[in-house]
Amino acid sequence: MNIREQTEKLEELYLSPLACHSARSRGRLRPEEPCQVRTAFQRDRDRIIHSKSFRRLKGKTQVFIIPEGDHYRTRLTHTLEVSQISRTVAKALRLNEDLTEAIALGHDLGHTPFGHIGEEALNEVFPQGFRHNEQSLRVVDELEGGTGLNLTFEVRDGILNHTGPAKPCTLEGQVVKICDRVAYLNHDIDDAIRGGILTAAELPSRCLEVLGRTHRERINTMVVDLITASWGRPEIRMSPAVQEATDELRAFLFERVYIGSEAKREEGKAKNIVQFLYTFLVKNPHYLPAEYLRRSDEVGVERVVCDYIAGMTDNFAIAQFHRFFVPRPFSFPA
């Protein structure tokens, strides 16, 4: 019996009957030999961490576009916070922590530069529409490394359904779906206060009475409530009181931070950058990198341009915009 098989046996003994066991995975898109050391979900986690798409998350906006300061969240730090919170919940519920971690680390791989305004920009110009969760699945299925990462069904399902109306098929995926919101609500409050968009005194008092008055207290309340309300149940959920306070806090952030605040003042420019790049590259595909240009005959120019732009970091998108649209000074010969 190798190390992986021993780990799978331990899962049978320790994990909840409601957990997704590694040995019972529904498999990969393309069959491959199991690893002797790692379970299927551990292997998926490692593939995501070592991917270029994961590394690029450090250069993508969370809420503040290219913030001046070292402590504001990026898409990468958001992903790590979602992973940490999700693993805490999964471990307490005796769910599969490796599956939970893999889904959390991969859930935003398809996010655009400039955060949700970049997503909105591509959705308006790309004929098939653009949603970052679908793009994240496309990254792990097809784009990363040229052939995708060939992840398990359960990780792919969790990535696709971490947002939107559909519910992930595993409890581990449901954990990530809720903990994604737990993470961004709390760290976006933290960043908004740091950026002078909000003060702590302006947060809804009723929400604070239920959830807590500090960053630490609110996360702790939500996590403990998730664990308590979900214990022994075939679904992951919050208690009605905490869910109501969480929804009210989210609505407050949409009103005060996510829409029309000082933090969003540059979004119009960011949206123009994304849409100008899309229009230009569709008309001039010879500017695409060779690996994208080769795929255009198979899936079409518009699809590969969308893939290319979605993979950009904020700074790379700005640099490409300068390259194509900002005139360079003429240099006279010496």
Alpha-carbon distance values, 153 to 160, 193, 282 (Å): 11, 40, 33
State the distance between the two ends of the chain, measured CA to CA, in whole angstroms.
74
Rg (CA), the chain: 21
Question: Burial code of 72-93, b = ≥16 C-beta within 10 A, e = fewer?
Answer: bbbbbbbbebbbebbbbbbeeb
pLDDT of residue 68: 67
Report the percent of the chain where pLDDT is more than 90: 90
pLDDT for 198 beyond 70: yes
Q: Which residue in this structure is represented by tokens 């009103």?
A: 255
Name the token pair of 281.
Answer: 């590259």
Q: List, for residues 55-109, the tens digit of each pLDDT value.
A: 999 999 888 776 766 778 999 999 999 999 999 999 999 999 999 999 999 999 9
Query: Looking at residues 143-171, what average pLDDT do you find?
Result: 97
pLDDT higher than threshold 90 for residue 265? no
Average pLDDT score, the chain: 95
Contact 133, 161 (CB under 8 A): yes
The band of 333, judged by pLDDT with boundaries at 50, 70 and 90, is confident
pLDDT at position 16 over 70 = yes
43-47, 273-277, 305-309, 325-329: range with lowest mean pLDDT: 325-329
Q: Which residue has the tokens 């530069």?
A: 113
What is the model's pLDDT at position 70? 76
CATH value of 40-264 in 3.40.50.300, 1.10.10.60, 3.20.110.20, 1.10.3210.10: 1.10.3210.10
The candidate with the shortest Cα–Cα distance to 307, out of 297, 319, 295, is 295
pLDDT over 80 at 334, yes or no = no
Quick: pLDDT tens for 266-310. 899 999 999 999 999 999 999 999 999 999 999 999 999 999 999
Structure tokens at 87: 């693993």
